[in-house]
Amino acid sequence: MARTQCWSEVHRVLLTREQTLAYRLPATEGKKSDPRWLAFADRHGFDRQRPVQWEVEALEPDELRRLVMGAVRPYIDREALGEVLSDEHRQRRELTEFLRRW
């Protein structure tokens, strides 16, 4: 946030332990050097000596898209998005026409 100064707040989006079980995501060995591991392990009841992690990339792409869109949808300004998409569509038409005449 400080580096880019483009957001006023950040909301982390993550899978819950229940989701990792429901989706049967494979656990992989976590990074022992991660300074956040001990607090995470204590908070969620994991063995501090055996770091573990789950990768959201293991989800089916459609399900990952659904979860991400569900998390960000409340923050999307539909009117502004519509204007940007309309402008992009117009620009594509203009470029296509330009290339056709080239």
The DSSP-derived string for 28-40 is: EE--TT-TTHHHH
- Looking at the domain assignment, is residue 85 inside a domain? no
| Residue found by looking up tokens 């792409």 in the block | 61
Q: Is the pLDDT of residue 7 over 80?
A: no
- Looking at the domain assignment, is residue 64 inside a domain? no
Number of other residues whose CB lies within 10 A of the CB of residue 37: 18
**Which H/E stretch holds residue 53?**
strand 52-53
pLDDT of res. 98: 97
- Looking at the domain assignment, is residue 29 inside a domain? yes
What is the total count of domains within the chain? 1
Which structural domain, as residue segments, surrounds residue 38?
9-59
pLDDT of res. 44: 86
pTM of the complete model beyond 0.95? no
- Looking at the domain assignment, is residue 27 inside a domain? yes
Q: State the alpha helices, DSSP H only, in the chain.
A: 17-22, 37-44, 61-72, 78-101
pLDDT in tens, 79-92: 999 999 999 999 99
Single-letter amino acid, residue 102: W
- Looking at the domain assignment, is residue 24 inside a domain? yes
- Looking at the domain assignment, is residue 84 inside a domain? no
pLDDT in tens, 44-76: 888 999 999 998 889 999 999 999 999 999 989
- Looking at the domain assignment, is residue 18 inside a domain? yes
